[in-house]
Copies of this chain bind each other. A is one copy, B any other.
Amino acid sequence: MQLYSFFNSSTSYRVRIALALKGLPYDYLGVNIRTGQHRHAEYIDGINPSASVPALVDGDFTLGQSFAIIDYLDARHPEPRLLPPDPEQRARVLELSMLVGCDIHPVNNLRVLRYLQDTLKLTPEQKDAWYRHWIDEGMAGVERLLARHGHGKWCFGNAPTLADVALVPQVANALRMGCELDRYQRAMAVFAHASAHPAFAQAAPARQPDYTA
């Protein structure tokens, strides 16, 4: 398989964790979204029509969108399962994953922050306040979900699921942006536990071939 990825992209990071957890080898193909490589015609026409990272190539099947890719990997390579088979357990995992993936990440990703800065001419202070606002609103929801339904050292039980795969890159991103997250105690305990796992460590931005400081 080949993975089109950017080291600092949270959505790419999710897929790298899933691949590492499943022990699947792949070729890493860096796509620099800071310089706009994901918008080049050859990438859109040849790899990913939605002009984003990540994209997975598995033989003659090419797929974008991190959650679609991880669901596909779970179907093709079910061990270890990242989406539990039981409908209620699965629903809990998806609920937290979608809170991160739909409610937190999209409003704070690179293209949005660039629009705030370049088109709306926000000050750095306004941009930081925007970032922190959505992190706090979203992480409060994550913390309440974990308080209600979480158990074990991972989000839901004693093995990683898609929920952990979604949470870790989001927390790492927020820490990198200087957010104060100590109050989200359950989420941060999961983050600390997960970050020490070899698959999560291996997938981190600083370990990728296209990493730059």
Contacts and interface: CB of A to CB of B under 8 A. Distances in A.
Given A103-B50, A148-B49, A68 B141 contact: no
Contacts of A103: 50, 52, 106
Interface residues of A, number: 51
A101 interface: yes
Interface string A93-116: 011011101110111000110010
Interface of A: 44, 49-52, 61, 63-69, 71-72, 75-76, 87-88, 90-92, 94-95, 97-99, 101-103, 105-107, 111-112, 115, 119-120, 122, 126, 129-130, 133, 137, 140-142, 144-145, 147-148
A142 B51 CA distance: 10
B105 A102 contact: yes
Contact of A94 (B68, B122, B130, B148): B68
Contacts of A147: 49
A144 B88 CA distance: 35
Task: Say what secondary structure dominates the interface of chain A.
Answer: helix
Contacts of A112: 107
Contacts of A44: 144
